[in-house]
Structure 1
Amino acid sequence: MGVEPLEIVMLTFNQYFDKNPELRHLAHPTKKALDNVFGIINAEYRAKKSGYYRLPFEEKALKDSKQYITDHQALLKQIKNLVIIGIGGSSLGLKAIDSILQHLPVRKEITLTFLEHTDPIEIQKSLFGISKEDTLFVIISKSGTTIETSSLMKYVIWRYELLASQESKEHMVLITDEDSPLHLLAQDQNIPVLTIAKNIGGRFSVLSSVGILPLMLLGYDVNALLQGAAAFEQRFFERKEEHLLKKAIFLAKNREHFPINILFSYSSALKDFNSWYVQLWGESLGKLDIYGKKVGLTPIGLIGSIDQHSFLQLIAQGLMDKTVTFISLNRTKYAEPKIPDLKCKYLESTDFVNNTSFAKLLNLQQIATMETIQNEGIPTDHIEIDELCEGSVGKLIIYFELLTSCVGGIFNINSYDQPAVEFGKIRLREMF
């Protein structure tokens, strides 16, 4: 499918500003403020501080993935199961994209399983019914030494005797940094391997081979995915998406008032996307700044209309410490199914929705929720997706990555490392 538009409807938090005149200037940051934030990101891009900026425009992931598929055509024709062994950034982005797009007719009938948890019950459950003959194990680890991934990899190697012969080794493909321990293992054992640049952080890596190879194996149009991301990023660097800079300035400068950021997605297909966002936002922005001060913003992912019945009360009448970003779909693209014009005794009060599409009902629930929250003076903004396809998902991915970088730049932090996570790894080794 072609690249579909991603419409960003920015409400600029006006409801809150009207009630707080002392913060009204944040609704319209000065040109100097916008230029400063853009300058930070432009400098990062030019200095290649993070390789994710260039992924939508590069062909390495496409070429490497196509070459792998060409070299293993006979094996891939037999594959019915794709088992992804990875954690965090090595799995969340891929899981998010597949969850959003799996309704598309191009999706192959391949069962996608994620082995990312060291819970013994979950391991046995995930691998139940999986046989080596019709399975490809994709092991993803940037460092190559992530303890969860390496331990799970050792287990499947042992369980399925994947090193017993060259034929067995072909049922594995590794994705890792060039010259990482995992890369060296692949070379030593003659295991298929794809590499990514070292300056691409795991949570920013979904548009690299980490996501492109599995998505290509599943049948998706990865060219459209990358083109969508490239189109939005190019517009951003051409200063045609200034709303993103304005939002970053508001969130960063007003973090003491609103330390919690909610992503309220009105489609169950976006549940795993919410999880990807939570990791991206939390792990990137919870840091010590250049002055040694702890900074950060707390992400929460909600699904509408389900979480209206569990969280809306807290948002509307709880502490005023939250912003809310809504994501919704263009309901006109999803006219079926409809609620039947069925009248039931004692349920007459519910008949007002009869003969309405479920998409329209969900859309109106989202609008009602957003207006309820706005009336309480809570900052909101809104992203409307025209259609769930590869191109729109590419734009959605790069939108949140760029927003994260902008906020991190204002915070004066390194958005691309995770030192506290590394401390935990060191502590675990000491305990053993």
Structure 2
Amino acid sequence: MSALKFKAEHPMFQYRLEEVPPDLTEWISSFERLLVLGFGGSVLPLRIFVESAGLGEKIICWDRLSRPPFFAQKTLYCVVSKSGETLEVKALLRDLLPDLGPDNLLCVTDPERGALREWQTQNSFRSLPIPQEIGGRFTHFSVFHRALLESQGISMSALLDRAKKKRDALMKDSSELEEIADIFFKPQAPPCFALWAYGAAHEAFAAWAQQALAESLGKKDSAGRRYGKLPFLLKGPQDQHSVLQYLVDGPQNQGLWLMAPKPEVEPPWESSSKIPKFLQTLSGQSLSKIEWILAESTYRSFLESNESGDTHSPLLRWSFSRSLEEMTEKIVVIQAFVEAMGQSWGIDAFNQPGVERGKGIARKLL
């Protein structure tokens, strides 16, 4: 493939945000928990920050079509839909409506138009805008996320600075982007690849990357030529017990992109009780170290199999910590890859016509 050129032309690469009004930050901070209702790009970018910061019990991202739990006290419900027409969100909002009001509802939607914005304005609910020029799957650095994270003492300014530095580095040297393209996106590469993630934060990142890569790059160009490779999500170590056998001895029609945490420095596991003999090999090993061992052994097994010729799966390993800073850098890499790959293929990586068609059919079926 020809070299990819990353130009940072899309507005999201400005990484510039307005400040959150102090009274709104104080109001959000007064709640014991925050429940975010949304689907796809309304929650996947946020979940990366939530899991990386260990805030999963404080900020609950709800993206399933079942009634969310209602907590009688001290819970802020954040309803997120850019158009206000997301069917799943409307259905959940309908079921929760009797319990919601100005004291526990935050609407996050288009700044000017749409059904949710109109309803919010009529009822004087508090609200925050979703940027008009940025699609939901790329709204990691939005004023809504800033409000939630800063209410928990996390500096969004520091993350924005980190994103800018990574953007500038990729504009000077796009080798990271070219590596992804060469392994998974060249014409002769398999039609799909697994995003195999270990740990909650990396699983959240991989789930978003799946959306970003599939929804952005699965397209037709102006001549009707089809492009894209299908990413699918695997969770480790769980899927070592379900899918690994297929990947090793199956038809070899997929790539493998491992995303695993670096081993964390933490006190070794200790117990005052006597350890049974069959557990003694684990003495002194923390759970995070064992997780790293499982991820590393999976990677090395495929590396050795590829080198011996027993398997021939395109293989890439990303080893990075769950820190907000490193997650931010990896987010920028995926964002940059989407823009550069889309331009290389001559497609619009920032629309989603296939999704819109399905939404229209769903509305007609109501």
TM-score range (shorter-chain normalised) is 0.7 to 0.9
Q: How does 1:8-407 map to 2 (within 5 A)?
A: 33-34=2-3, 37-38=4-5, 41-42=6-7, 45-46=8-9, 50-54=10-14, 56=15, 58-60=16-18, 63=19, 66-67=20-21, 69-71=22-24, 73=26, 75-76=27-28, 78-102=30-54, 111-118=58-65, 122-123=66-67, 126-128=68-70, 130-131=71-72, 133-157=73-97, 159-162=98-101, 169-181=102-114, 182-239=116-173, 241-254=174-187, 256-337=188-269, 344=276, 347=278, 351-374=280-303, 375=305, 376-385=311-320, 387-407=321-341
State the alpha-carbon separation in 2 of the partners of residues 290 and 112 from structure 1.
Answer: 42
For structure 2, the residue ranges without an aligned partner over 5 or more in a row are 306-310
Q: Residue 114 of structure 1: SS of its match in structure 2? A: strand
Residues 330 and 339 (structure 1), Cα distance of their counterparts in 2 relative to 1, 3 Å cut: farther
State the alpha-carbon separation in 2 of the partners of residues 338 and 237 from structure 1.
Answer: 47
Task: Note the C-alpha offset of 1:305.
Answer: 2.4
Residues 393 and 262 (structure 1), Cα distance of their counterparts in 2 relative to 1, 3 Å cut: same
Q: Residue 133 of structure 2: SS of its match in structure 1? A: coil
State the alpha-carbon separation in 2 of the partners of residues 413 and 85 from structure 1.
Answer: 31
Per-residue displacement from partner, 1:399-418 (whole Å, max 9, x unpaired)? Answer: 22222333333332211111
Residues 341 and 225 (structure 1), Cα distance of their counterparts in 2 relative to 1, 3 Å cut: farther
Counterpart residue identity of residue 329, structure 1: P
Alignment root-mean-square deviation, CA: 2.7
Worse overlay, 291-300 or 351-360: 351-360
* TM-score between the two structures when normalised by the length of structure 2: 0.87
Task: Note the C-alpha offset of 1:205.
Answer: 1.0
Higher normalized contact order (CA 8 Å, seq sep 6+, divided by chain length): 1
- Greater fraction helix: 1
User: 1:175 touches 1:210 (CA, 8 Å); kept in 2?
Assistant: yes
For structure 1, the residue ranges without an aligned partner over 5 or more in a row are 1-28, 163-168
User: 2:183 touches 2:189 (CA, 8 Å); kept in 1?
Assistant: no
Q: Residue 233 of structure 2: SS of its match in structure 1? A: strand
Task: Note the C-alpha offset of 1:90.
Answer: 0.4
Counterpart residue identity of residue 52, structure 1: M
Q: Residue 175 of structure 1: SS of its match in structure 2? A: strand
Residues 358 and 151 (structure 1), Cα distance of their counterparts in 2 relative to 1, 3 Å cut: closer
Task: Note the C-alpha offset of 1:290.
Answer: 2.5
* TM-score between the two structures when normalised by the length of structure 1: 0.75
Counterpart residue identity of residue 276, structure 1: W
Per-residue displacement from partner, 1:139-189 (whole Å, max 9, x unpaired)? Answer: 2111222222233234333x1252xxxxxx242222222212233333333
Q: Residue 138 of structure 1: SS of its match in structure 2? A: strand
Residues 244 and 315 (structure 1), Cα distance of their counterparts in 2 relative to 1, 3 Å cut: same
Task: Note the C-alpha offset of 1:262.
Answer: 1.4
- How many residues align? The count is 359
Residue equivalent to 2:353: 419
Task: Note the C-alpha offset of 1:364.
Answer: 3.0
State the alpha-carbon separation in 1 of the partners of residues 103 and 25 from structure 2.
Answer: 8
Q: Residue 331 of structure 1: SS of its match in structure 2? A: coil
Counterpart residue identity of residue 319, structure 1: P
User: 1:221 touches 1:390 (CA, 8 Å); kept in 2?
Assistant: no
